[in-house]
Structure 1
Amino acid sequence: MEQDAGGPEWERVLWKRQPFPDNYVPKTFLSSLSTNANFRPYTYGSLVLASCTISLHFSVIFVFLAIFVRLKERTLDPRLLVWISIVSFICFYTLWEIVEHIGSNTSRLENRAKAVKSSILIFLALLALSPMLRTLTAATSSDSIWALSACLFVLNVVLADYTPMHSAQQHPRERLSSVMSVNAAISASVVLASRLVDDVSVFALMLFSIEAFALLPLLRRRLQVRLPSVFPTLTLLAAGLAVSLTAALSSTVATLYVAVFAFVTLVAPSLLVWAQRYKNEIRGTWDPAVPKVNLALHHTRPA
């Protein structure tokens, strides 16, 4: 209903009785209307760089599966894989130390000692558990193992944390979904490793899986912030390794990987840029109030 000419003026108050019906709409109702007020359009280049995180994750999974097939078919020496894992761990940890010292002069000797101690304990634990892991699913059919591992890897991809780890997070708290994602990948590695024929192969595959699914994501998240120019290079190297390993095993699997990589990295960003034209977010005074938290006070509270 509209206000009559020359009548009393409508006021936006609840405590005052006014001669207007409850469904009265003033002429100024749409004066504060805003469309896409907080909308920031994406660019294709920024989306491609952001998708490198997912592409790298897919590449690591395909590399792991190719290595598993080679171990199962005995075309890869498990001792060689152990040495590759050890050398790559040293390289990645050195890169982590370099990244951590960019813009920081603090000493991290205590953290290094803890990292070395934890690495040795994990190495010895896997070495001791390998015989048990090899016979873990002896009574289970291979078809069930393939289906279970596929479901676990899908869960790993869906729940993975693809956000960067900022430098202010000295002791970051992992999200529950991120922890579940790592657990799903390690569980898939365990059930696949149980189909291998000897303890050395099981140990080599589990050592590589921990490095690929538990440690590499931490390095990836930090590289996204500290060395963003290096991160796309790491993604391309992982993609090239995945293509070379899968192509040597099966052209079908290699084609599937290339299709997934191209869709995630190139096609999906273009679809998102195209869909932005249909973005229509309407805001006005009728929206519920949004509380504004004092972030400065929140960060200065004692732990």
Structure 2
Amino acid sequence: MEIPEWKRVLWKKQPFPDNYVGESFLRVRKKCKKLSLSEALYGASAVTHELCSCLGLVVIFFGVSEGNLDSSVVLTLTAVLGILGYLITKDQLATSARDDAKIACFYVVLIGCVSPVIKSLTRSVATDSINACTTLLLLLRLVLHDYGTSVAIVNPTLSHNVGLFASVCLASRLESDLDVFTLMTVAVVLFALLPTFRRYCRSGLGRAWNVLVTGVVIMVTGCGVALYAPHLLPLMALALVLCNCVIPALYISCQDHKQNIYGPWDEAQIEER
């Protein structure tokens, strides 16, 4: 008599003891998308962009605080670039132009009103403590930022908030209200508007254009660091090498070792047909 194949079902009576399990009880299979090295490097470019945004904020802070950058020029250039980016991506936005104008006016009035408060906010705090707090907040933003992957650690709201809080810490060490207003405006553009523009470019442009844009961003950020914060140049070089070379190569070498074990303890899911 041929022994029927054991099936992992509860609704069907089978000629096996209650404690019997077949070979298919443990389903072991690899559940990971195989990526090539070029795909891993391309995916790391999103982290590179956000890293350059954080460094750009620090560079502008050093340039303005040391008098090497004119706040009015930086503010004008930021406004022009922000408006151009909005005009390019406005077709992809769910809000109307009138609502966006209201939000922009609200931000301008809010930042203008709180600039005198921010300027004296951390007067009693040591500069070393402010620098350490800003560094940790920017690192936290890099960890929590949405790079286009659905993982549990991603939190766009918290990432945006800690980025602005880091900007407040830096702006509190500036001397004039205009400097504070300029740095906070740059922070809003870098941490609120620029990620939307980058997602539009990654989805609307080809891979070659995104690689070219990444190269331009790295070049511009590197020039700014070399001119206004040269002590951060080794740190930037190390971060770029780790982000764009070491970590993608390590991921490619380790992805073959990833496997998940599935069994009756798994959460029930409705499979698409």
Deviation at 1:139, TM superposition (A): 1.6
Matching of residues 55-94 of structure 1 within 5 Å: 55-94=48-87
RMSD: 3.2
| Counterpart check, 1:35 vs 2:29 | yes
Deviation at 1:35, TM superposition (A): 3.1
Cα contact 1:164–1:225 (8 A) shared by 2: no
Counterpart AA for 1:35? R
Deviation at 1:53, TM superposition (A): 0.7
Could you tell me which of 227, 234, 241 is aligned with 1:262? 241
Counterparts of 2:106 and 2:252, CA distance in 1 = 47
| Counterpart check, 1:129 vs 2:114 | yes
Going from structure 1 to structure 2, the CA distance change for 1:20 and 1:257 (only over 3 Å counts) comes to: same
Could you tell me which of 227, 231, 250 is aligned with 1:271? 250
Deviation at 1:100, TM superposition (A): 2.8
Cα contact 1:164–1:222 (8 A) shared by 2: no
Paired residue for 1:142? 127
Kindly provide the CA deviation profile for residues 1-53 of structure 1, in whole angstroms up to 9, marking residues without a partner as x: xxxxx89878657786978584x565xx15985532x4431111111111111
Going from structure 1 to structure 2, the CA distance change for 1:199 and 1:242 (only over 3 Å counts) comes to: same
Q: Which moved more, 1:208-217 or 1:120-129?
A: 120-129
Deviation at 1:95, TM superposition (A): 1.9
Counterpart AA for 2:165? S
| Counterpart check, 1:151 vs 2:136 | yes
Counterparts of 2:191 and 2:252, CA distance in 1 = 31
Paired residue for 2:41? 48
Kindly provide the CA deviation profile for residues 209-232 of structure 1, in whole angstroms up to 9, marking residues without a partner as x: 100011111222232222243333
Tell me the TM-score normalised to structure 1 length.
0.77
Q: Which has the larger radius of gyration?
A: 1
Matching of residues 87-102 of structure 1 within 5 Å: 87-97=80-90, 100=92
Cα contact 2:26–2:261 (8 A) shared by 1: no
Kindly provide the CA deviation profile for residues 171-199 of structure 1, in whole angstroms up to 9, marking residues without a partner as x: xxxx9821011110101101110100111
Cα contact 2:6–2:14 (8 A) shared by 1: no
| Counterpart check, 1:116 vs 2:101 | yes
Going from structure 1 to structure 2, the CA distance change for 1:248 and 1:20 (only over 3 Å counts) comes to: same
Cα contact 2:68–2:228 (8 A) shared by 1: no
Question: Which has a greater percent of helix?
Answer: 2
Q: Identity of paired residues, percent? A: 22
Going from structure 1 to structure 2, the CA distance change for 1:291 and 1:198 (only over 3 Å counts) comes to: same
Paired residue for 2:214? 235
Paired residue for 2:190? 212
Kindly provide the CA deviation profile for residues 90-135 of structure 1, in whole angstroms up to 9, marking residues without a partner as x: 12112213x639xxxxxx8x71121122212212221222112111
The answer for unaligned runs of 5 or more in structure 1 is 1-5, 102-107, 166-174, 296-303
Going from structure 1 to structure 2, the CA distance change for 1:34 and 1:132 (only over 3 Å counts) comes to: closer
Going from structure 1 to structure 2, the CA distance change for 1:83 and 1:250 (only over 3 Å counts) comes to: closer
Cα contact 2:59–2:229 (8 A) shared by 1: no
Counterpart AA for 2:75? V
Kindly provide the CA deviation profile for residues 141-189 of structure 1, in whole angstroms up to 9, marking residues without a partner as x: 2122111111211221111111179xxxxxxxxx982101111010110
SS of the equivalent of 2:155 reads helix
Counterparts of 1:197 and 1:140, CA distance in 2 = 15
Deviation at 1:287, TM superposition (A): 6.0
Counterparts of 1:244 and 1:96, CA distance in 2 = 27
Counterparts of 2:5 and 2:187, CA distance in 1 = 68
Q: Which moved more, 1:207-216 or 1:131-140?
A: 131-140
Paired residue for 1:200? 178
Counterparts of 2:118 and 2:21, CA distance in 1 = 71
Counterparts of 1:262 and 1:19, CA distance in 2 = 59
